[in-house]
Amino acid sequence: MSKNLATLIGLSAILQWSSIVGLLKKISFSIGPDLAVLMMYSLSTLLLLAVFGVPKLKTIPKFYLLSAATLFLVYEICFAYAVALAQTAQQAIEISLVNYLWPSMTIAMLILFHELKFHSLVVVGLSISLAGIFYIQTGNGDIHLATVIHNIQANPTSYILAFIGASLWSLYCVFTKKYSQGHNPIVFFFAMVSVVLWSKTLLLDHEQLPQLLNIDLNIMLYMLLVSVVTGLGYAAWNIGINQGNIAMLVALSYFSPIFSSIISMWVLNTSLSHTFWIGTMMVTLGSFICWLSTNWDEIRDRLFPGKLYKT
């Protein structure tokens, strides 16, 4: 496989993941949040098992497996329910942007765990991303704290879950970098999420299961599609980072908030205000600045070769 083809496959992963919010919300409007989340992870697990096979857990460090599995489980449930519990299509897209704080928060976590050196650009980037979320909640661009609080109070559960999810995913990324030793037990993680969700459904929500027998063809297709983009997204991403241009893929991944918002707007057939798009640009810019902070020395040396800098 050529490097360019592998890069395109990796890019498809970014676009696939960007479509999850719109597709999941479309399904939850029809069958409710519990069944929507349950079916997404169940079908994705079956797909990942077909693509990757059963993982060899004995070769994976136990500390990493247990800690990362817990973080992944709680993150995925927080993120999925944050979107599924959104009251409107527009709110689902707004809430999903909270999840995209994770790139900036990952850089901050890496600094806290002494994996990266502190750089002032991290503070700038994280502040801009948070300001973008705040600005979106103003609704019309008029910055009033009372308006922001009112918007969040309309559905605090979803916003809290999205923020917790972003925090946990950034921590998951740090644990993976420090302790994974190159292992990728993503199939086990998805299977674990599915088992937990099925256990919850059978114990607490079993009365909802008959609804699955009455799903119409359109919703069934959406269920298959969201499972494919969730599961195959991981497979495509692995090909991209292993055989493609990883630097380009990482840079493009920071524009996921924009891709996700455009795709979700189309899938959910909704419109978004100029305030939303400005806030989205701010979240994206903040994440990109955080990425620049991790590569600042290399970028500076390329822009100004031969110059000496104090360390």
In this structure, of 32-36, 157-161, 184-188, 189-193, the range with the lowest mean pLDDT score is: 184-188
pLDDT in the model for residue 214: 82
**Residue 307: inside a domain:** no
The conformation of residue 271, written as its DSSP 8-state character, comes to -
What is the phi-psi region of residue 144: left when phi exceeds 0, alpha when psi lies from -120 to 50, beta otherwise?
Answer: beta
Residue 59, Cβ density class (10 Å: 0-12 exposed, 13-18 middle, ≥19 buried) = exposed
Banded model confidence at residue 92, pLDDT cuts 50, 70, 90? confident
**Residue 229: inside a domain:** yes
Q: How many C-beta atoms lie closer than 10 Å to residue 150's C-beta?
A: 12
**Residue 308: inside a domain:** no
Name residues whose C-beta falls within 8 Å of residue 10's C-beta, 6 or more positions apart in sequence. Answer: 236, 237, 239, 240, 241, 244, 246, 249
| Size of the chain, expressed as the number of residues it contains | 311
pLDDT in the model for residue 307: 62
Is pLDDT larger for residue 165 or for residue 136?
A: 165
What distances in angstroms separate CA 243 from CA 14, 235, 246, one per listed residue? 16, 12, 8
Residues of the chain with pLDDT > 90: what percent?
Answer: 20
**Residue 310: inside a domain:** no
- Per DSSP, helices labelled H in the chain are 3-18, 20-31, 33-52, 62-84, 89-99, 102-112, 120-136, 145-153, 156-179, 186-204, 217-243, 246-253, 256-267, 274-294, 296-303
Residue 102, Cβ density class (10 Å: 0-12 exposed, 13-18 middle, ≥19 buried) = buried
**Residue 183: inside a domain:** yes
**Residue 306: inside a domain:** no
The pLDDT of 113-139, averaged and rounded, is 82
**Residue 220: inside a domain:** yes
Statement: the pTM of the whole predicted model exceeds 0.85 = no
| pLDDT, tens digit (0-9, with 9 covering 90-100), for 28-47 | 988 888 999 999 999 999 99
* Rounded Cα–Cα distance for residues 22 and 14 (Å): 14
What 3-state class would DSSP assign to 254? coil
**Residue 309: inside a domain:** no
> What is the domain range of residue 232?
3-298
Is residue 223 within 8 Å of 27, Cβ to Cβ? yes
Our count of domains for the chain comes to 1
